[in-house]
Every structure is written in C-alpha cells, then in structure tokens.
Structure 1
Amino acid sequence: METLLSVIIIFGLLVFIHEWGHLYFAKRAGILCREFAIGFGPKIYAFKRNETVYTIRLLPLGGFVRMAGEDPEMIDIKPGYEIGLVFNTSGKVKQIIINNKSKHPDALVVQVEKIDLEKQLIIEAYNEDGERIQYQVDEKAELVQDEQATQIAPWNRQFGSKSVGQRALAIFAGPLMNFILAIVILTAFALFQGMPVDEARIGDVSPDSPALEAGLQKNDDVLAIDGTPLDTWESMTEVIQKHPNEEIMFEIDRNGQELAIPVTPAERPGQLGDPEGFVGIAQPTEFSLVGSVVFGFTQTYTFASMIFEVLGMIVTGDFSLDYVSGPVGIYNYTGEAAAMGIFVLMQWAAALSVNLGIINLLPLPAMDGGRLIFIGLEALRGKPIDPQKEGIIHFIGFALLMLLMIVVTWNDINNFFM
C-alpha cells in the first residue's frame, strides 16, 4: 500500500506539472484548451472550469492537454442540415443544437445554407418562412449534440493560428516544468536534509552496515584507503565501489587521532548492472540556503548527464533493455525508495522528473521533441507541414512507443521473477 500510494503521488505530480506547463503557456497564447487530463482511457472524474474540462482517467500512463485545432473538429455541419439556434442577449448565436431539437423549445429551427465557425463566425440559413437570413455567432458559442456541449474554436483560438514561437513555447513548457520541479525538489531536499559536501568525511553510518560493524563513526575524516590519499567524497566512493567483498584499509583522523580500520564492502548492483561495493555511509552535509539552490541545479544537471550517458549507448551499440525500466520496474524501484525514507524518495522523484523531461524532448514522433521538430521545419520552410501527414507520422510514432512500452514491461516482469 505504501508503494502504491508513493507511485500515485509521484506520478500524479510529475504528470500534473508537465501538463500544467503546456496548459499555462497555451492559455497565455490565447489557445482554447478543451481538456486537461491526467491518465488515458475512460474518465474517472471530471469537472469544468472556465473553458477547460479537467479529467482524471483510468490508465495512469501519462496525460495530455487537448488544444483546439490539433485534431479535426468532431462535429461537421454541412449545407442542408437542419439545426436549432439559441441566442444571447446581444442577438448572437450562443448555442447550435445539432439534434434533439425538441428538447430545446426556445431554439429557432433553420436550414443551413452556409456556415463558417472559424473566421467569419456566421450562419446563413432559411427560416420557417423560407427567408435567407445571416446570423452572427458568438466566439464562445457551443455546439450541442446528444445534449453534450462543445465550445466552437474560432481560428484565432486554434493552435495553428499562433506564431511559431508561441506554439514552440507551449510545447516546450511541459518538459521545462519537469526540470524546474526537479530543481525545486532537490533544493527542498538540501534545505531539510543538508547539502552534501564533497569531502572525504563520513556522514551518518547506516545500522547493520559494514562500516558500523568495522567501527567507522560519523565525522571520521578519511585520509586514505589502502594507502591511496583521498580528499573528496567522490574519490572515496570510487575506491569503495571497486572492491566489493574485498577487505580494504581505511586510514582515518578521529578527533586528531589517526587510526587504521579494515572494512569489507558488501556488494550491490551498480547503475549499469555491474556489481559494486558499498559500506553503508552517507555523505557529510551542511545547511545553506544559497548552497541548497546551487545543489538543486547541479544535481539536476548530474541526473541529466547520467540519462544522456545511457541514451548515448544507443548510438554506440552498448544499449540493453536492462538499462531501462517500464511501469513495473519503476513501481518496484519507487517501493524500494519509499522504504528508505522520504529523503531518498524525494531524490528518486527528482530523477524521474528529469528523465520525463528529457525523454519528452527526444526528436521522436508523438513526443514533445517530435512536435518541436515539425514546428522548426515550418519556421525553415515558411509554411507548415501538411497536418494530415504530420498526424500520420505522430500516430505511427505513438504506436511504436506503445510497442516499446509493452516490450520493456515484459522485460521488467521477467526480471522481477528471476
């Protein structure tokens, strides 16, 4: 239950902040955002505020912001259709009743001759007396079909009507918010837990750890290991990681007294699957507001570098599915992080946020990066790519991503039971 709750909170936060970035900058650009969704599939909960419907959906595999103009409008009214018109106090059409007109006795029933709900915002129609009349349509008018209302999207409210810069910012804002979230989480971590200091000094010592059994204590200054002088935490951990299940000699300074203490590091899987040694000590910390903010930025950069290192393996041919995890693997790792405490879980959440931001910026169809590529090509060509062709490419890309998700998930399940 603790793992499930942690997963729901973390993934809900990561997806929410990502999609909120899209929503905020799209609205700033004047784009009509029809829906803000967390998850995919059937709706579990929904409410409408202003022009946007906010939904939580069944499958927790991401989220989306549905902007007007990105997809073809579902309701197409052609000449000859009989519709009902409801007017506002200014005499403009505020509702267009597609069917079930009998449920709207106040609606004026007309036969459409010409309709433009994008640019001119007019309806030319024949009334019951056979007269052809032009009606002005309010820019926030609604189409009502099967008693479901959908706001019209004039051209100036559609995604495609905005400048290249406005559209690019609305797309880039999602990943950007994930990087900002990571910085905020890591800054908060450093403020509450202390900012790690890159010194060869022992912070906390874990219970039942090789370090505790050997007699290492908090604030011991590590002078050398096996005769190798050390002055940074990174250089110390590198030596420890190279000697799993091998005795090494710590030369320490404890309150001015130099001691030699043998320690045998235990073994655990490293970042790339190879075994590495660990002794169960934490990095020393100090508390500083400015230092915490700097740590938030630098640690976010470190996480990003590690992710790019793995992505680079795809180019060099050293890539393996064992280096990536799908929903099952992430669920298990989140449970392990939650069991280690809130501060480990915060770091894990920050790493996932950076990962989500980078993956979304990859130049792949259906990803934010792929959409930015198309916007960039439009800027170079001076005209947009054919929307139908772009839609097909994104659809194929999405299908391939779902296939990859299935393969990675199957690999996670196999690893879980091995």
Structure 2
Amino acid sequence: MTAILYIVIAVIVFGVLIFLHEFGHFFTAKLCGIKVNEFAVGMGPALFKFQKGETRYSLRALPIGGFTAMEGEDGENNDPRAFVNRPVWQRIIVLVAGAFMNILTGFVIILIIIMLTNPIPSTTVAQFADGATSSQTGLRAGDRILSIDGAAVHINMDITLGLITSNKGKVNMQVLRGGKVVDLPAVQFPMTDDGNGGKVMARDFVVYAQQKTPGRVISYAFYWTIAMVKLVWVTILQMFTGRYSVKDLSGPVGVTAAMGQAASQSPSMLFNVVAMIAVNLGVVNLFPLPALDGGRLLFVIIEGIRRKPISRKYEGYVHLIGFALLMTLMLFVTFNDIVRLIKR
C-alpha cells in the first residue's frame, strides 16, 4: 500500500509540474496572439478532452509529459498568428515561460517551507565540531563567510553547495572578521562518501540562527532557488569532467523512490524534494539540446541574429533526432533506476 501511495504522490506531483510548465507556454502564447490548437497534460491516448474556442484541452493516459500545440510550431505556415510568424522576442518569451513557471514553483514551495520551519540559518560560524579541521586551518567562530573558491555566499545553502561541489579537501574562503574582509587560503575539511563512489567535503561547523522577517524570508527563498539552479548546472558540468556519469542520473522511477523516501521522513523533506524537482525541470528544459525548449530557443536566437531562419526542414530533422536520443536516454536511465531499486 505504501508503494502505491508513493506512486500516486509522484503522479500528482509530475502532473502538477507538467501542467504549470505547459500553462506557462499556453498563457504567454495566448498573450502574444499565437493560435493554440491543443493544450494537453500527459501523452498518449486522450482520457478526457473538450473544445473551447479554437483550442482543444485534453488529459492523456501517460503522465510523462504534456504539450502546448501551437499553429505553425514545426514548419512554414501562412497564418499570421502562427508561432513561426510571430516576432522573435515573442517566441523567446513563449519558449522560456515553461521553464520559468517550474522555477517559480520551486521558489514558492521553498518560500512556504521557510515560513513554516525554524529560524533562518545565517552564514556566520557559531561553533565547531570536536577536532574540526577547518578551525585548525584558518576559520574561526564569529567569521561571516562571504565566498568559497570565488563563489559568493549569500545563504547557508551556498556554504553546503561550495563544499559538496569540490572534492579537493580544501577551499579558499573569504570571511568578514571583526569588520574586516579576510582571505583564508586552503581551509581544510573532512572528506565523506558522496553516495556515488566518490568523496565530498563535509561541513564541520554550525552557524548561528537569525530571526525571520518578511524581507529575510523572501531573500532566503530567492537565493535558495538560485543555489538549486547552480547545483543542477554544476552537476551536469561535472558529468563532462568525469566526476559523475550518465549512470548517476535518475528518471521517473528513481525520482518516485526519492519522493517516497522523503515522504517517509517528513512533509518538509517531501516538499524540499518537490522544489528541487521543479527547479531541475525548469533548468534542464533550457539546456540548448534538440527537442528541449532550450534547443528551440537556440534556433530562434540564431534567427534573430541572422535576421532569417534556418531551414525549417533541417530544424525539424534536428529536433526529431534529438527527441529519439532523449527517449533512448530516458529508457537507459529508467533501466538503471530499476536495477538500483532491485539491488537495495
């Protein structure tokens, strides 16, 4: 029964995130005067559909995606309201809107989590664990951390991000100490297993809490969302450096398992995972890869620079091949997710 409940939760979460993503495309398309033929949540055969005006609305059987079918989206079209005939800036807005809605959803969830949880952690060191290596290599209690390896630290999560994205065992830090900015070269931290056979630095200190105010809550939620965006980019980039591999990716099965594990711990953990999934969907969709919104966006930007479009036929071939490769990757990732679950 528990497994079924987790699957139901996952289907609802994916359904809501897909709906919001497609609604971003739909709303901005309508706002820009683009003709929308169909707004669909899910893929495959339609379970429920109705027509309102020029647009058909449908709920489809497979909860693995959705689409906003716009007139003239995939080729030449003489209709002045076709997507392909609208100004470049309008098409850019429509293409970005889906990812924006996902990231905005992540921000709202994080905002709610912060409002309902304990005081906000600061970036000022309160005390160290016994035998902390960071305190022996330059860091002191009372230091407010300003940056790690050149990356600005705005919130507590930036500290964690700065440590887990490095496996060198030491980082360069900049802190505010006694009102003065101090550079701390080669601050060392203990190493711990990252769960993928590698090592990451672990924090060996805690920070002070700070009182919640409306401005501080909004600011913290904003920078937390930015930190999640950066984490997605860093993880993808580290796949190219060999630190992570395609085998470490998770698909719907793995994400469902992660949500189930989080739900078994606390509602807060579950919503934290959902926020991360929402931000992930938004960021990944903007990658300049064929078949993704980012791939289509790249073609539109090139058209804006060249003052003329790339051949629609060749663009269609690129997206078709990209979609096939994406589906192949999804099958591979899903297979790995199932293998990991069996081995547990």
Q: Please indicate the TM-score interval, normalised by the length of the shorter structure.
A: 0.7 to 0.9
Cα distance, 1:271 vs structure 2: 6.0
Preserved CA contact (<8 Å) 1:182 1:300 = yes
Rounded to whole Å, the distance in 1 between the matches of 2:130 and 2:98 is 46
Q: 1:293 aligns with which of 200, 212, 218?
A: 218
Match of 2:321? Answer: 396
SS in 2 for 1:366: coil
Residues 50 and 284 (structure 1), Cα distance of their counterparts in 2 relative to 1, 3 Å cut: farther
SS in 2 for 1:346: helix
Match of 1:40? Answer: 43
Residues 162 and 335 (structure 1), Cα distance of their counterparts in 2 relative to 1, 3 Å cut: same
Rounded to whole Å, the distance in 2 between the matches of 1:395 and 1:283 is 52
Preserved CA contact (<8 Å) 1:194 1:286 = no
- Amino acid aligned to 1:192: L
Residues 304 and 52 (structure 1), Cα distance of their counterparts in 2 relative to 1, 3 Å cut: same
Encode CA deviations 1:87-123: one digit per residue, 9 max, x unaligned. Answer: xxxxxxxxxxxxxxxxxxxxxxxxxxxxxxx86xxxx
Cα distance, 1:290 vs structure 2: 1.4
Preserved CA contact (<8 Å) 1:338 1:344 = yes
Pairing of 1:21-170 with structure 2 (within 5 A): 21-71=24-74, 155-170=79-94
Encode CA deviations 1:130-180: one digit per residue, 9 max, x unaligned. Answer: xxxxxxxxxxxxxxxxxxxxxxxxx12211110000011110111111111
Match of 1:357? Answer: 282
Rounded to whole Å, the distance in 2 between the matches of 1:189 and 1:35 is 35
Residues 169 and 199 (structure 1), Cα distance of their counterparts in 2 relative to 1, 3 Å cut: closer
Residues 187 and 283 (structure 1), Cα distance of their counterparts in 2 relative to 1, 3 Å cut: farther
Residues 285 and 331 (structure 1), Cα distance of their counterparts in 2 relative to 1, 3 Å cut: farther
Q: CA RMSD in A?
A: 3.1
Residues 389 and 193 (structure 1), Cα distance of their counterparts in 2 relative to 1, 3 Å cut: same
Cα distance, 1:36 vs structure 2: 1.0
TM-score, normalising length: structure 2? 0.76
Rounded to whole Å, the distance in 2 between the matches of 1:389 and 1:189 is 46
SS in 2 for 1:157: coil
- Amino acid aligned to 1:35: E
- Say yes or no: does 1:307 pair with 2:232: yes
Rounded to whole Å, the distance in 2 between the matches of 1:314 and 1:18 is 26
- Say yes or no: does 1:189 pair with 2:113: yes
Rounded to whole Å, the distance in 1 between the matches of 2:233 and 2:131 is 34
- Amino acid aligned to 1:338: A
Encode CA deviations 1:321-373: one digit per residue, 9 max, x unaligned. Answer: 34310111111001011112221111111111111111111111110110011
- Amino acid aligned to 2:221: G
Alignment length (residue pairs)? 293
- Say yes or no: does 1:412 pair with 2:337: yes
Higher relative contact order (CA 8 A, sep 6+): 2
Percent of aligned pairs with the same amino acid: 35
Residues 176 and 224 (structure 1), Cα distance of their counterparts in 2 relative to 1, 3 Å cut: same
Q: 1:176 aligns with which of 97, 100, 108?
A: 100
Residues 198 and 30 (structure 1), Cα distance of their counterparts in 2 relative to 1, 3 Å cut: same
Preserved CA contact (<8 Å) 2:157 2:224 = no
Rounded to whole Å, the distance in 1 between the matches of 2:123 and 2:84 is 53
Cα distance, 1:34 vs structure 2: 1.0
Rounded to whole Å, the distance in 1 between the matches of 2:212 and 2:49 is 43
Match of 2:174? Answer: none
SS in 1 for 2:122: coil
Rounded to whole Å, the distance in 2 between the matches of 1:274 and 1:283 is 30
Higher helix share: 2
Cα distance, 1:237 vs structure 2: 7.9
Match of 1:339? Answer: 264
TM-score, normalising length: structure 1? 0.63
Rounded to whole Å, the distance in 1 between the matches of 2:234 and 2:158 is 20
Rounded to whole Å, the distance in 2 between the matches of 1:235 and 1:67 is 40
SS in 2 for 1:15: helix
Preserved CA contact (<8 Å) 2:41 2:66 = yes
Residues 10 and 278 (structure 1), Cα distance of their counterparts in 2 relative to 1, 3 Å cut: farther
Preserved CA contact (<8 Å) 2:41 2:59 = yes
Q: 1:4 aligns with which of 4, 7, 14?
A: 7
Cα distance, 1:275 vs structure 2: 7.0
Preserved CA contact (<8 Å) 1:3 1:331 = yes
Rounded to whole Å, the distance in 1 between the matches of 2:80 and 2:108 is 35
Q: 2:130 aligns with which of 225, 247, 252?
A: 225
Give unpaired runs (5+ residues) of structure 1.
74-117, 120-154, 202-220, 242-267
Rounded to whole Å, the distance in 1 between the matches of 2:34 and 2:157 is 48
- Amino acid aligned to 2:65: G
Preserved CA contact (<8 Å) 1:39 1:56 = yes
Residues 291 and 226 (structure 1), Cα distance of their counterparts in 2 relative to 1, 3 Å cut: same
Rounded to whole Å, the distance in 1 between the matches of 2:245 and 2:74 is 36
Rounded to whole Å, the distance in 2 between the matches of 1:380 and 1:354 is 29
Cα distance, 1:9 vs structure 2: 2.3
- Amino acid aligned to 2:270: L
Cα distance, 1:223 vs structure 2: 5.0
Higher radius of gyration, 1 or 2: 1
Q: 2:292 aligns with which of 362, 367, 370?
A: 367
Cα distance, 1:72 vs structure 2: 6.3
